[in-house]
Structure 1
Amino acid sequence: MLPHYKQQAVIDSGLAAVGFRPENQRIYPNGSLAAHILGAVDIDNFGIAGIEKWIDANWLADLRGAGLALKGRDLQPVELSIDLRVQYAMEQELGKAVKKFGAAAGAGLLLDVTNGEILALASYPAFDPNNPVDAFKPDRINRVTAGVFEMGSTFKALTTAMALESGRFDLESVVDASRPLSFGRQRIHDYRGKYRPLTVPEAFIHSSNIVMAKMAMTLGPEALRTFLGRFGVLSQLATELPESAAPLRPSSWSEVTTATVSFGHGIAVTPLQASMAVAALANGGRLIRPTFIKDSPVSERTIAESLLSANTSEAIRHLLRLNAAVGSATKADVPGYVIGGKTGTAEKVVQGRYSKVLNVTSFMGIVPADNPRYLLLTLLDEPRGLAETYGNRTSGWNAVPLGGALLHRILPMLLKPVFPSPSSAEAVPVATGEPSVDDSSSD
């Protein structure tokens, strides 16, 4: 659009049949900030992505069809749940981590587990909605809602919860992880495993594939499928964002499928789905459909309640805290806050085969772990090993430090820190009979 002084110059020139027609143009003063949430409009100001498209489809379409004028002063504002302070920090830290680790892409999410409101969502690379053509580039998709990933060991929180809820296992149960599991020519082993009998807490902090598979096979394929279905990871999740991918789930649930799904392989879901499920584990068993709208009624978005007993939910919170204190998520711990978390590293599927050199890494953290309010997800797609990570590409070396950097920045904005006195300093039982794990190369 020409500035007014140039328009006036054209008018003053006296050119016949030349004039100007005023048009409205949608401007995004924050540029690419929260672009994957806001979306964009086309040249005619119709929403083509994100919340813009949702507003158009649900509110403005009827008004336009009725021929009513759409002026800003006549419309009610849509207040989003996004905290721009947190959003800005997340996009900054995510961008730095993607570049540092040479990753192909990354994603992040902060979710309020008590009401399902999303305070921040980022996907890298992003786009500028002032130039909406970039929104349709293949690498600019919203990886949190429109991408599906094998979430790796973050699924072990669900498998462990299922095992504890069944009553067949408890925190003192011991499962033999001495040898890999064999299914014909396929073998399931532990990454840097202990290869000895493990208690359930040991299996969680050492991220034992063998123990998770054995617990799932003990309960059976139908039990695992039913449990995952109740937590919403087997069906497509609908939110206000139109960009939503359906999960890629197994076509049949054989014994080997049950074993691999138990540790997050052989099933691909959106990161938002996985976050919603873990949030339900943390909040006492209430599955809440996430929202981007501030003060959206929780009762209308509650999919299920009492999915877990209070004891099981408390046990999962304890295990998440244990893993952040002495397990694979220690690099996410923040002084003054009780952090809990689980790491995940999955081999990436390339042309139908698992790659031995490309991973998707993730970290799922809750805070405060003893009475959760927020869940943080970080995800890196194809991170590279660095000299400072001793060549390791697993989550504890990249997605977890990204989570720690984010938590350091955003928690003081959201929660008051608590520093115990020396006499009452937090003691976390390791329950392993060994020194603390502190092995960030673990899954």
Structure 2
Amino acid sequence: MTGYDDPRDYGTPPRLPPVHIPEGAPVFVGRRPRETVLLDGQTKQAIETGRSRLTMLGIFFAGCFTLLAGRLVDISVLRQPDDARGTGTTEAVAERAAITDRNGVVLATNLTTASLYADTTKLIDIDEAVSKLIRVLPDLSRVELDAKLRSGKSFVWLKRNLTPRQEYEVNSLGLPGLAFQREERRVYPFGRLAAHVLGFVDIDSKGISGVEARFDEELRDPARAAQPLKLTLDIRVQHAVTDELSRAIETFHAIGGAAIVQDVRTGEVIAMVSMPDFDPNNPREATPENRFNRATLGTYEMGSTFKTFNTAMALDSGVAKLGSSYDATHPIKIARFTIKDDHPQARWLSVPEILIYSSNIGSAKMALDCGVDRQREFMTRMGMTRRVSIELPEAGTPQVPNPWREINTMTIAFGHGMAVTPLHLATGVAALVNGGIYFQPTLLLPDPAHPPAGERVVSSQTSASMRKLMRLVVTIGTGKKADVPGYWIGGKTGTAEKAEGGGYARKALLSSFVSAFPMTEPRYAVLVMIDEPKGTKETYGFATGGWTAAPTVGRIVERIAPLLGVMPTEGPDPATAGGVLIAKASGED
């Protein structure tokens, strides 16, 4: 093999002469025994040189790949842009767990988006960059954009969370010095629906209000990123309630309102609406008034709806019976105040009649029989004197009288002199009709294997009586317009003048209706409150709870009952079952 100066000069090896095998010599079938080939010095040196060159080339490429991989990790994971390190805004955003309704429908989730930044040291023509960017991103401020691009910084945010089209259009500009960073953006598929319950997050996906704020740590925990937070809301019911409340506010030219649907057997909030509302996808556009949750944070004097508590207190304590009666012939004058009836009967009224005709006079006298201490204890038992327990940071604390005097006892009997949230009222009424058990309101879907424990607040007998009385309010009292055949709705109207400047504004009403259905075996409580409704031609100028909130509740029940599996039934009306006394009272028990 001599004569070859370089391995690359190897050509076709010379043809070897035939080998003669002597007779009797062993013949090997298959692979031949390995033969040792000895190379001379020049050939051996050429092969070793080639092998060394290939080894060095492999090491070079391996080093290049290692550097590229390290740079990629440094840019995408470890390194933060200089400007961002000062603000903390470009910290890698961890995926946030989704939020769903009780049926698994997604209410809040994350989408990966592109955010635009610039390395201003690499820009060639700043004026050109400003003009082109403004053309494709018209919501940017030209002045601010120009200042950022002339800052001389190696990193400066231009716009966060671009849409795919915006990203494409910016890329198409072909401007040097512009780049994108991938981020997670929180989105709410149903927009305004359930906005006050869900709340919203800031640009760095940190919870600011609502459930997003209350469970911020849990939602940001990587260990549970794949496990959604399941709420008690039913988005179908939420839609129906929102639609009907919005219709009522528009019809009666009101400034706002609130509505709640609650399971009386567990305390679960099935729907919660506050209006005006906002779009959590664009929280910056919402005013403080729109972000205010009237259902859980606002405290209001709820008017005659409180007569349900007053009646239950008197019956449960034994101070009064269904056959007891009170003189409602004349208004009550105490100090500089006069207590009178809006629907005066000018006669003695039985306990059922006091609730049916919504008598302030009868309610005040009944409360006086119970006394200050008993009323304060009963209201505390019903949760009316403490902050509402709900998984939201926006939870209001009731305004209670201090000192609690006799005049307060009389006015609280018909819903003035004490302010609570709508959720307080709905939860309390749920306990009055469900057999007498108070359940804390909740937005988190409980484990079916471990149902929530309640606390008895009134006897089952008192609860049964209240169901009949509240049904009578709908059949022959002030809540007639809430009636829906087959669903046995029972409830109580309320119309309160809003407090203003140490007194009350007679034309600024808070109209409400709190109810439950079906009264044969209550499943759900429904409350509607309308803030400052105006009378219409159809209501003959009236804007009271019976004309505004009651019919709204009726429409809500008609829409949501089938969704919740409650079908119309036939049978005896629970208002007359058992013979509740509603005849004209004689003045004797």
- Compute the TM-score of the two structures, normalised by the length of structure 1: 0.90
Name 2:245's counterpart in structure 1: 94
Sort the Cα spacing of 1:24 and 1:394 in 2 relative to 1 into closer, same or farther, 3 A: same
CA distance in 1, matches of 2:350, 2:497: 26
CA distance in 2, matches of 1:46, 1:185: 53
Name 2:324's counterpart in structure 1: 173
SS in 2 for 1:21: strand
Sort the Cα spacing of 1:425 and 1:332 in 2 relative to 1 into closer, same or farther, 3 A: closer
SS in 1 for 2:183: coil
> Letter of the aligned partner of 1:132 in structure 2?
P
CA distance in 2, matches of 1:202, 1:367: 21
1:47 to 204, 207, 210: 207
Q: Deviations over 1:251-303 (max 9, x none)?
A: 1121111100111101000010111111111112211111111125797864x
SS in 2 for 1:129: coil
Sort the Cα spacing of 1:431 and 1:131 in 2 relative to 1 into closer, same or farther, 3 A: same
Pairing 1:19–2:170 present: no
For residues 202-281 of structure 1, what are the structure 2 equivalents within 5 Å?
202-281=353-432
Sort the Cα spacing of 1:324 and 1:299 in 2 relative to 1 into closer, same or farther, 3 A: farther
SS in 2 for 1:133: helix
Pairing 1:38–2:198 present: yes
**Superposed displacement of residue 11, structure 1:** 5.2
SS in 2 for 1:276: helix
Q: Deviations over 1:124-170 (max 9, x none)?
A: 11100001124552243110001011011111111101100111211
Name 2:556's counterpart in structure 1: 406
Structure with bigger gyration radius:
2
For residues 216-365 of structure 1, what are the structure 2 equivalents within 5 Å?
216-295=367-446, 302=453, 305-365=455-515
Identity of aligned residues (%): 44
SS in 1 for 2:465: helix
Q: Deviations over 1:183-236 (max 9, x none)?
A: 122111111210100111111100111111111111211110010001101011
Name 1:141's counterpart in structure 2: 292
**Superposed displacement of residue 322, structure 1:** 1.0
> Letter of the aligned partner of 2:208 in structure 1?
I
> Letter of the aligned partner of 2:411 in structure 1?
T
CA contact (8 A) 1:135 1:141 kept: no
CA contact (8 A) 1:326 1:430 kept: no
Pairing 1:370–2:502 present: no
**Superposed displacement of residue 4, structure 1:** 4.7
The count of aligned residue pairs is: 422
**Superposed displacement of residue 248, structure 1:** 0.9
1:386 to 536, 555, 558: 536
Q: Deviations over 1:58-92 (max 9, x none)?
A: 4246x4xxxxxx49x84311111111111001111
2:311 to 160, 164, 177: 160
User: Unaligned 5+ residue runs, structure 1?
Assistant: 64-69, 435-443
> Letter of the aligned partner of 1:40 in structure 2?
F
Which deviates more from structure 2 when the two are superposed, residues 345-354 or residues 114-123? Answer: 345-354
> Letter of the aligned partner of 1:316 in structure 2?
M
Name 1:115's counterpart in structure 2: 266
Sort the Cα spacing of 1:197 and 1:59 in 2 relative to 1 into closer, same or farther, 3 A: same
CA distance in 2, matches of 1:298, 1:271: 30
CA contact (8 A) 2:520 2:574 kept: no
Sort the Cα spacing of 1:198 and 1:2 in 2 relative to 1 into closer, same or farther, 3 A: closer
SS in 1 for 2:529: strand
> Letter of the aligned partner of 2:192 in structure 1?
S
Name 1:437's counterpart in structure 2: none
CA distance in 2, matches of 1:310, 1:9: 68
Sort the Cα spacing of 1:202 and 1:59 in 2 relative to 1 into closer, same or farther, 3 A: same
**Superposed displacement of residue 351, structure 1:** 2.2
Sort the Cα spacing of 1:229 and 1:425 in 2 relative to 1 into closer, same or farther, 3 A: closer
Sort the Cα spacing of 1:106 and 1:242 in 2 relative to 1 into closer, same or farther, 3 A: same
Name 2:133's counterpart in structure 1: none
CA distance in 2, matches of 1:290, 1:413: 21
Structure number with the bigger relative contact order (C-alpha 8 A, sep ≥ 6) is: 1
Name 2:570's counterpart in structure 1: 420
Sort the Cα spacing of 1:175 and 1:6 in 2 relative to 1 into closer, same or farther, 3 A: closer
CA distance in 2, matches of 1:263, 1:299: 38
CA distance in 1, matches of 2:191, 2:487: 33
Name 1:80's counterpart in structure 2: 231
CA distance in 2, matches of 1:211, 1:198: 7
CA distance in 1, matches of 2:170, 2:261: 51
CA distance in 1, matches of 2:435, 2:180: 61
> Letter of the aligned partner of 2:274 in structure 1?
S
Sort the Cα spacing of 1:344 and 1:77 in 2 relative to 1 into closer, same or farther, 3 A: same
Name 1:191's counterpart in structure 2: 342
CA distance in 2, matches of 1:123, 1:412: 23
CA distance in 2, matches of 1:96, 1:409: 14
Sort the Cα spacing of 1:76 and 1:166 in 2 relative to 1 into closer, same or farther, 3 A: same
Sort the Cα spacing of 1:80 and 1:6 in 2 relative to 1 into closer, same or farther, 3 A: closer
CA contact (8 A) 2:249 2:257 kept: yes
CA distance in 2, matches of 1:55, 1:409: 32
SS in 2 for 1:253: coil
CA distance in 2, matches of 1:103, 1:13: 49
> Letter of the aligned partner of 1:39 in structure 2?
G
Name 1:66's counterpart in structure 2: none
SS in 2 for 1:379: strand
